[in-house]
Amino acid sequence: MIEQRVLWLLPFAVALGCAATPEDKTSGRCILSCNNTRVGGAEFTVEALTPTPLALKCEASFAAGESSHATPTPVQVRFRLVETIPPFGTAAAAPAAGGAAAPAAAGGAAAPAGGGQTTDTPLLSKRPVGGVGFEPDVKGLVSIENSAPEFHPTPAETNKVSSAKYAGIVTPQAEWCSDTCGIITYEFWPKCISAGSNAISAGVSVEGVGATAPVSLTLTNP
Given this model, what pLDDT does residue 98 score?
A: 52
Q: What is the pTM of this model?
A: 0.69
DSSP 13-52: HHHHHHHTS---TTTSSS----TT-B---TTEEEEE-S-S
For residue 3, CA distances in Å to 7, 8, 10, 101, 118 come to 6, 9, 11, 30, 16
110 neighbors 93 (Cβ within 8 angstroms): yes
Cβ atoms 102, 94 nearer than 8 A: yes
Instruction: Give 108-124 pLDDT, tens digit per residue.
Output: 444 445 445 555 555 66
CA 24 to chain centre: 15
- Cα gap 167→135, rounded to integer Å: 12
pLDDT computed for residue 207 by the predictor: 87
Integer Rg of the chain from CA: 25
What is the C-alpha separation between 57 and 72, in angstroms, rounded?
Answer: 12
Please report the pLDDT score of residue 50 as a whole number. Answer: 93
Residue 118's pLDDT is 52
- Determine the pLDDT at residue 194: 87
133 and 179 in contact (C-beta within 8 Å)? no
Report, as ranges of residue numbers, the positions in the chain whose pLDDT lies below 70: 1-28, 87-124, 211
Distance between CA 62 and CA 69 in Å, rounded? 6
Q: What's the pLDDT score for residue 89?
A: 55
